[in-house]
Structure 1
């Protein structure tokens, strides 16, 4: 039987977010949620994130009395292996799930009662199911704008796509983090795309984005409309891939897929009127090409063509827990 460590440690949960089924372990996007980090320096948090070497690691803390009075249920800081992010999707869902599973925040009395997260980008609303294995978040849509890209042939070569590949709508959209969205009208071509990291970097640098924010990556997507549904509701199926300037891709990107909703409202192939009033629901398959299948559920509410609400959600499951040593300051 091993003895307790003689050095300071922090506890953590290891989760999978945006899972299949909807809470099948070892699918979706992994996340580490680390507790007890209040008072640690930025450099110490960055070292912990680098040690886990996941796409993101989060560090939650409970609110002060003043923050509670503002309706805040918890605070969180989100780190990649390189930097702190103002917001990210799957870390938000996973952190909320972990706090609930540890009974650090009270469960909502009803499925329509919102949990409020505070992070550097602002306040994020979350809804959880009664389990709570399904978690959804809402983040205000900041903007959508046309993307001024180089010639289509140059774009296709960056992603090793055949010259015959047809692209549709191209936009930059943000619900907290800006991404470049490119519609590919051939699903097989999407599956076979391979990003040239240097080419992606040059393309992103050429983009002119509102608020001078740096585009995080390229979300290439295929979409098709599903016939039927209630009046005022449109349902679509999406297959997408998140490609970055560095090699590799992301198995499930909540912050990009929530900003996809407003792009879909403007996608000509879906045949929505410019003054569409109603709800567009979209089910996303991501991570297939990298062997990490994920499923995300998106919803965008529009009133006379104006975006009113953006939601993204999915399954969350705990796959591990443990402790990690506190890095030296």
Structure 2
């Protein structure tokens, strides 16, 4: 089996979200995949498999160190990049990924890859109980939040919109996760070349709250929310990761086919041999 390490949503060297991609993983059990993802320790590790859908170019299973996800954004772009770099040729005009939420198209654009955002499985405002829990976890007051909504597209993201990028960057959440939730923060930015500032948090091993460097699924859910609410109308750029030493860029657009989440992917290590033992 081949193991690639790639960096997704980069804005310079080692500035995005790392991903491990295992090729030819049909012989691995789900338990073996989970064990390897835990050992590697990245936010996600993906396993490329023979597709079962006739339109798909490959099938992917996506694991965090503790669980399997039906969909995730930076693993989608990183897997597509690694599959193509290993000689994969799409059946059609676009790469078609098969994963837990179904088929996800990936296209090349301006030196980047972009996936079409899957539809939200849940939207609408957080309940009073959900909002109270999110505020406590993030150590925010009710007046700090302009709007709080569900943007669940596989991961059950809860998105809180604040007044400014400075307010987003100033948030200092509790280090221990109160419950298993995925929390996102977003606000408009006045920095050059950046339209929105985003941060994303999830529950890691041992119940620790982990901040993700750059999160494709959160950006995908946030984009649908921004477009549907009229807060975004044209293409925009989101920044994420500056509080954890990253500096990712996410390029978002919308056309008649849907919302597209794009970013640059770079190889860090390619073609390593992974033992099956």
The TM tier, using the shorter chain, reads 0.7 to 0.9
Q: Which residue of 1 aligns with 2:211?
A: 249
Report the alpha carbon displacement of residue 140 of structure 1 after superposing the two structures with TM: 2.9
Q: Which residue of 2 aligns with 1:317?
A: 266
Q: Which residue of 1 aligns with 2:234?
A: 280
Cα distance, 1:193–1:115 mapped onto 2, change above 3 Å? same
Report the alpha carbon displacement of residue 150 of structure 1 after superposing the two structures with TM: 4.3
Any stretches of 5+ residues in structure 2 without a counterpart? none
Q: Which residue of 2 aligns with 1:149?
A: 128
Q: Which residue of 2 aligns with 1:222?
A: 187
Report the alpha carbon displacement of residue 181 of structure 1 after superposing the two structures with TM: 0.6
**How far does the alpha carbon of each residue in 1:265-290 deviate from its partner, in whole angstroms, 9 at most, with x for none?**
3557x4x7xxxxxx532211000011
Q: Distance in 1 between matches of 2:86 and 2:177?
A: 44
Q: Distance in 1 between matches of 2:84 and 2:199?
A: 30
Aligned residues, how many?
270
Q: Distance in 2 between matches of 1:318 and 1:199?
A: 32
What secondary structure does 1:36 align onto?
A: coil
Cα distance, 1:149–1:136 mapped onto 2, change above 3 Å? same
Could you tell me whether the CA contact under 8 Å between 2:135 and 2:142 is conserved in 1? no
Q: Distance in 1 between matches of 2:243 and 2:143?
A: 19
Could you tell me whether the CA contact under 8 Å between 1:141 and 1:310 is conserved in 2? no
**How far does the alpha carbon of each residue in 1:250-275 deviate from its partner, in whole angstroms, 9 at most, with x for none?**
0011011101112213557x4x7xxx
Could you tell me whether the CA contact under 8 Å between 1:144 and 1:262 is conserved in 2? no
Cα distance, 1:154–1:77 mapped onto 2, change above 3 Å? closer
What secondary structure does 1:125 align onto?
A: strand
**How far does the alpha carbon of each residue in 1:2-57 deviate from its partner, in whole angstroms, 9 at most, with x for none?**
xxxxxxxx32110000001xxx3311000011122212211111121122110111
Q: Distance in 1 between matches of 2:137 and 2:67?
A: 26
Q: Of residues 60, 63, 71 in structure 2, which corresponds to 1:87?
A: 71
Report the alpha carbon displacement of residue 178 of structure 1 after superposing the two structures with TM: 2.5
Q: Distance in 2 between matches of 1:299 and 1:139?
A: 10
RMSD over equivalenced CA pairs, Å: 2.8
Could you tell me whether the CA contact under 8 Å between 1:165 and 1:186 is conserved in 2? no
What secondary structure does 1:27 align onto?
A: coil
Could you tell me whether the CA contact under 8 Å between 1:25 and 1:318 is conserved in 2? no
1:181 is the counterpart of 2:159: yes
Q: TM-score, normalised by structure 2?
A: 0.86
Q: Which has the larger radius of gyration?
A: 1
What secondary structure does 1:123 align onto?
A: strand
Report the alpha carbon displacement of residue 219 of structure 1 after superposing the two structures with TM: 0.5
Report the alpha carbon displacement of residue 166 of structure 1 after superposing the two structures with TM: 2.9
Q: Which residue of 2 aligns with 1:238?
A: 196
Could you tell me whether the CA contact under 8 Å between 2:194 and 2:239 is conserved in 1? no
What secondary structure does 1:37 align onto?
A: coil
1:14 is the counterpart of 2:5: yes
